[in-house]
Copies of this chain bind each other. A is one copy, B any other.
Amino acid sequence: MALKLYNTLTRQKELFTPMAPAKVGMYVCGPTVYGHSHIGHAKSYVSFDVIVRYLRSRGYAVTYIQNITDVGHLLGDANEGEDRLLKQGRLEQKHPMEIAEAYTRSYFEDMDALGILRPDIAPRATGHIIEQIELIKKLVAGGFAYEADGSVYFEVAKDTAYGKLSGRKTEDAETGTRVETKSEKRHPNDFALWKRAEPEHIMRWPSPWSVGFPGWHIECSAMSMKYLGESFDIHGGGMDNQFPHHECEIAQSESATGKPFVKYWIHNNLVTVGGRKMSKSLGNTMMLKETFRKYSPVVVRFFILQSHYRSTLDFTDEALEGASKGLEKLHQTVRSVREAMKLEPGRAAAAEALLDLDGARTIFLEAMDDDFNAPQAIAVLFDIARDVNAGLALKGFSAERLAEIDRFFLETGGQVLGLIPEQLEEKGGADVGELMTLMLDVRQEVRANKLWKLSDAIRDGLAKLGFTVEDAKDGSTSWRRSR
């Protein structure tokens, strides 16, 4: 079996052959930390998490880098306008680094909740200003970039390959927004590598050109090459980053090194909400912390993986509720397997014929090998769950077989897809309060039947477990914890 993945650069599925055998260097564009994460972040990082997990399960040693953009890049596609962290800082009356600190934490909280493995390094843009300056120096020295009034721009005309990823060279027209800045550029397509800081710009560093700050694109080139080398295997990100961000990354990196930057470009598709694009102006942005109040994070993860990473994902409450029920069915099967493992061994023969674990594993791997087709891989789990349930009803599995089934679910749905935990919460079970209410009702009935000894035994049994039962004069009974 061979892993194929869709490479945006070539617009086709390609056989995956990493540059060094058994080692994979992978970089994914991380968040700009000026607000809480939304469902779009979840889609992107769950997608790449499954890719990392699958590559590791196939034996690759993956070094996974995901940056934190804590230099607040300018609003607007044209890289003009206001700095996002500065703006948020002003709103919250905080230093931009406090904003970055708070939302970096918030980001990882949400990603941890979604079962996303942490990147091996999460380099901060502010932590790599020197590396960015060094790269810009190289581009200026090589004639690919020019200075203008303390800012430095990449000259797109010098890079004949520009546009090879996205097929685009020009940003959508946004004329007249900040004419004086644009006029610094030799050509409107040129993009900023370094910007001279206006007096009100708090985040600023000395450089050979001005006290300023790096442009939007240079950090990803500098940090990916620092930790993965000048050429590496996989670069990922959201589809909306293809142009201009990734196109600019390629231009900067390949002009500076003369080497191919990235072998495989992987882009995840976006999330819509009720069929419409998610946007601040529509007010339909699904923040994760809010979503988690209604749906458990693993349900959100399951919902995301039910569609392919290159498909759009439409968020509706109905879809989420469906996902919740679907995942619970899968979990219930695993729970039943684990409970059956505690009982006496089954009679083996009857149900065995139903169940083809090896075949299922093969189909699972084929699905994942086909451009990480998680929805198809999930379908395999449901198929096998149906057979397992039928077999369980027949009490048909031996202890060894049950362990094998459990291991199958853990390896496929657990380690690779991150949907089946080693310990399943005992979901849907009653809590202590409900049981105590029932227990006291029973005791009332016992007393009504004048079984005083049993009534006392219940009281004493509960006392041993740490509950004090109090019988009021009016015949009612209450309980409280005694320790």
State whether the Cβ of A118 lies closer than 8 Å to any Cβ in chain B: yes
Residues 134-154 of A, flagged 1 when their CB comes within 8 A of B and 0 if not, give 100000000000000000000
Report the minimal beta-carbon distance from A323 to chain B, rounded to whole angstroms: 17
- A457 to chain B: which residues have CB within 8 Å? 442, 445
Which of B127, B335, B426, B436 is in CB contact (< 8 Å) with A435? Answer: B436
Assess the A227–B118 pair: CB atoms within 8 A.
no
Assess the A430–B465 pair: CB atoms within 8 A.
yes
Assess the A429–B428 pair: CB atoms within 8 A.
no
Whole-angstrom CA separation of A129 from B133 in the bound complex: 13
Interface residue stretch chosen among A42-50, A246-254, A303-311, A446-454: A446-454
- A205 to chain B: which residues have CB within 8 Å? 130
Whole-angstrom CA separation of A332 from B446 in the bound complex: 32
Which chain B residue shows the least CB distance to A449?
B451
Whole-angstrom CA separation of A462 from B121 in the bound complex: 50
Residues 83-126 of A, flagged 1 when their CB comes within 8 A of B and 0 if not, give 00000000000110110010001000000000000111111101
Report the minimal beta-carbon distance from A434 to chain B, rounded to whole angstroms: 5
Assess the A439–B435 pair: CB atoms within 8 A.
yes
Residues 317-345 of A, flagged 1 when their CB comes within 8 A of B and 0 if not, give 00000000000000010010001000000
Report the minimal beta-carbon distance from A333 to chain B, rounded to whole angstroms: 13
Assess the A454–B461 pair: CB atoms within 8 A.
no
Assess the B130–A429 pair: CB atoms within 8 A.
no
Which chain B residue shows the least CB distance to A434?
B465
Assess the A483–B121 pair: CB atoms within 8 A.
no
State whether the Cβ of A467 lies closer than 8 Å to any Cβ in chain B: yes
List A residues 396-428 near B (Cβ within 8 Å): 426-428
Which of B130, B332, B431 is in CB contact (< 8 Å) with A130? Answer: B130
Which chain B residue shows the least CB distance to A465?
B430
Which of B127, B426, B436, B442 is in CB contact (< 8 Å) with A127? Answer: B127
Which of B426, B442, B454 is in CB contact (< 8 Å) with A449? Answer: B454
Assess the A95–B124 pair: CB atoms within 8 A.
no
Assess the B105–A120 pair: CB atoms within 8 A.
no
- A359 to chain B: which residues have CB within 8 Å? none
- Known contacts being A121-B95, A445-B457, is A438 close to B462, with CB within 8 Å? yes
State whether the Cβ of A432 lies closer than 8 Å to any Cβ in chain B: yes
- Known contacts being A127-B126, A332-B483, is A461 close to B449, with CB within 8 Å? no
Assess the A97–B121 pair: CB atoms within 8 A.
yes
State whether the Cβ of A168 lies closer than 8 Å to any Cβ in chain B: no
Whole-angstrom CA separation of A129 from B206 in the bound complex: 12
State whether the Cβ of A466 lies closer than 8 Å to any Cβ in chain B: yes
Which chain B residue shows the least CB distance to A134?
B206
Interface size class of A (residues with CB under 8 A): 35 or more
State whether the Cβ of A480 lies closer than 8 Å to any Cβ in chain B: yes
Whole-angstrom CA separation of A435 from B440 in the bound complex: 12
Which chain B residue shows the least CB distance to A443?
B442
- A426 to chain B: which residues have CB within 8 Å? 432, 481
State whether the Cβ of A286 lies closer than 8 Å to any Cβ in chain B: no
State whether the Cβ of A77 lies closer than 8 Å to any Cβ in chain B: no
State whether the Cβ of A441 lies closer than 8 Å to any Cβ in chain B: yes
List A residues 332-381 near B (Cβ within 8 Å): 332, 335, 339
- A130 to chain B: which residues have CB within 8 Å? 129-130, 205-206
Which chain B residue shows the least CB distance to A342?
B480
Report the minimal beta-carbon distance from A461 to chain B, rounded to whole angstroms: 5
Report the minimal beta-carbon distance from A56 to chain B, rounded to whole angstroms: 15
- A436 to chain B: which residues have CB within 8 Å? 435
Which chain B residue shows the least CB distance to A336?
B480
Assess the A227–B332 pair: CB atoms within 8 A.
no
Report the minimal beta-carbon distance from A119 to chain B, rounded to whole angstroms: 8
Whole-angstrom CA separation of A462 from B205 in the bound complex: 67
Assess the B483–A458 pair: CB atoms within 8 A.
no
Task: Knowing that A438-B462, A442-B457 touch, tell me 10 more A-B residue pairs with CB under 8 angstroms.
Answer: A98-B121, A101-B118, A105-B118, A130-B206, A429-B467, A431-B432, A441-B461, A442-B442, A442-B454, A445-B457
3 tightest A-B contacts by CB?
Answer: A430-B465, A127-B127, A428-B483
**14 pairs across A/B with beta carbons < 8 Å?**
A63-B95, A95-B120, A97-B227, A130-B206, A427-B483, A428-B466, A429-B432, A429-B466, A429-B483, A430-B467, A431-B432, A434-B465, A438-B439, A445-B451
